Structure 1
Amino acid sequence: MKINFLFLLLQLLILPQISFSQSESFSVQEVKFKSQNVTLSGSILMPEKPFAAAVIVHGSDPVKREMEFAKRLAKEGIAVLTYDKRGVGESGGVYVGPTVGTNNIDPANLTLLSQDASEAVLTLKTYLKDKKTPIGLVGFSQAGWIIPIATSNNPQIKFMVLFSCPTITTLEQLRFQFYTNGNHDFWNNHTESDAREHIKNDSDRYQFIATDPKISLNAISIPGIWLFGEKDIQIPVKLCIEQLNFMKAEGKPFEYALFPELGHNTSSDDNSTPVEISIQWIKEKALKLKKS
């Protein structure tokens, strides 16, 4: 009997509307913090009475602090620390890349970036007046491997929001990415079976130990939400959702929302719905965390 994957994939997260009395005003403070003997530079956006806090975790590109995205969160009452990625902008260290598949996503670099994110969480906590304010990680793409590692090693992290983030291994993701080869019409000409067969059997162009985010995800119990675009050609969304459903069935507090018309950039200003859902989800989880 075939499983109706379409039914699973078209489920969009429905959350109760929660009202928080928040002003759109917030302060911005430049900060520096140490991570693995390197000084990283960033900005803290602090609402008057934040109900939650978040550190933004980068994707694979050489990204400076994500100020526009941070402002979207801060206007909703979320305190944010966003920083220039290691080796980028005003941050020290060396940016590893840009060629995906060399040492950009090898275990050493992903672990190092997870340590940066963890140190950012500890830094943000020192700026919160209410130390019970829940702090989470919000990230994009490559952050799908970084956030679980950081979370499994830092009990201060209470929730995670992952935009277009993989649940498959780094090598599996590369096999898929090389298969799609940047072709935006890929899903018009290929089936899910084609993609899975290629991911399973294709030879690897690069040789390094694969990072499997499920190892870290199975070790944690904090709530998380993944936001996917069904037309993504960077990660195989249906396979990632299938793996999330397996973890959900085992009791993990993981959720997802799928957007059939979107691709990899689910946090774009062109479609605000994914970000709005993530903010509403953070509000709900923050309220439960504070009650507990």
Structure 2
Amino acid sequence: MNFLLLPFLFISNSLLAISSNFTTKNVKFQSEGISLSGTIFNPKNASAAVVIVHGSGQEKRMTEFATLLANNGIAVLTYDKRGVGESGGVYAGPEVGTNNVDSLNLNLLSLDASSAVDVLSKDLQNNRIPIGLIGGSQAGWIIPLTAQKNKKIKFMTIFSGALITVKQQLRFQFYTNGNSSFWDTHTEEDARNHTMTDPDKYEFIDTDPLDTLTKLSIPGLWIFGGKDIQVPVNLSIELLNKLKPGSKQYEYKLYPDLGHNTAFSDSTEPVEYAIKWIKNRK
């Protein structure tokens, strides 16, 4: 059974420059009793810095995506997920018969990301640049949790992250059932009805990102694909718009023809947009 969003793939493309105007350093750091392994990418004259937060799946450090960001003047810490690669701990996920979207696991992964922010901040202590989080899919739940835990985090960049609860997202994902032509035969009203009313197939402690986002005051950017069949985009945008009035510095960018993997589709526009947005953080 699938308890998660499909892995969000960061794959190299034309944005990945040939030159390597940065240094790299492998690091090990502690989080909740285990050792995590990662790499810091430090470009010359960096204007911002990010920790890459994993989506679902057994993801190692994302060196290609980190290289892309570093070549664009953004410092990066990317690490092997808990229980994967050179990192200690136990990986949770359906491949090993466990539920990785239970609130306890999402919070544990957010603590790992928070520890990574502390490591990156210490490494860049003589460089007063803003540090943020970037990630996609399942990271859309983890990133706000991390930002609430660590005041060093100054911004969030989220690709295809749901603004609905985990259980609601699963209802939508089960209904679309991986059908790439889903939106050719279903309406928004139909999909929303199933998302909000279908019975849950699994019982676990749920997570509602709105609970956290209402408490945060840092800027956030969400990038969506209009043909996403894993996240109900229109519903997520509607909920995000309800958060925006007042002091919330939340933005979104919609690419109507893209699917779930907005970061690296055939179009480089989403990543270019995200990089420009990050480099404008103060």
Residue 275 (structure 2) pairs with residue 279 (structure 1): yes
Unaligned runs of 5+ in 2: 1-18
Give the stretch that moved more between structures: 261-270 or 34-43: 261-270
The structure 2 residue matched to 1:140, chosen from 132, 136, 143, is 136
Quote the residue 1:49 is aligned against: 45
Report if the CA contact (8 A) 1:125-1:131 is conserved: no
The structure 2 residue matched to 1:191, chosen from 187, 191, 203, is 187
The structure 1 residue matched to 2:202, chosen from 189, 206, 211, is 206
Report if the CA contact (8 A) 1:141-1:165 is conserved: yes
Q: CA deviation at 1:98?
A: 2.9
Quote the residue 2:15 is aligned against: none
Residue 32 (structure 2) pairs with residue 36 (structure 1): yes
CA distance in 2, matches of 1:56, 1:159: 12
The structure 2 residue matched to 1:154, chosen from 147, 150, 153, is 150
Code of the residue aligned with 1:104 in structure 2: it is N
Q: CA deviation at 1:133?
A: 1.3
Quote the residue 1:13 is aligned against: none
The structure 1 residue matched to 2:67, chosen from 43, 55, 71, is 71
Percent of aligned pairs with the same residue? 58
CA distance in 1, matches of 2:258, 2:153: 29
Report if the CA contact (8 A) 1:26-1:74 is conserved: yes
CA distance in 1, matches of 2:202, 2:148: 27
CA distance in 1, matches of 2:91, 2:271: 27
Q: CA deviation at 1:50?
A: 1.1
Alignment of 1:1-292 (within 5 A): 24-98=20-94, 103-268=99-264, 270-285=266-281, 289=282
Unaligned runs of 5+ in 1: 1-22
TM-score, structure 1 as length reference: 0.88
What are the Cα deviations for residues 26-63 of structure 1, in whole angstroms up to 9, with x where unaligned?
01111111000110001100012211110000001110
**CA distance 1:70–1:219, change in 2 (3 Å):** same
CA distance in 2, matches of 1:279, 1:30: 24
**CA distance 1:147–1:264, change in 2 (3 Å):** same
Provide the secondary structure at the position in 1 that maps to 2:280: helix
CA distance in 1, matches of 2:171, 2:98: 14
Q: How many residues align?
A: 264
Q: CA deviation at 1:132?
A: 2.2
Report if the CA contact (8 A) 1:52-1:134 is conserved: yes
The RMSD of aligned alpha carbons is 1.5
What are the Cα deviations for residues 170-217 of structure 1, in whole angstroms up to 9, with x where unaligned?
000000000000000000000000011101110000001210001111
Provide the secondary structure at the position in 1 that maps to 2:45: coil
Report if the CA contact (8 A) 1:101-1:174 is conserved: no
CA distance in 2, matches of 1:42, 1:81: 7
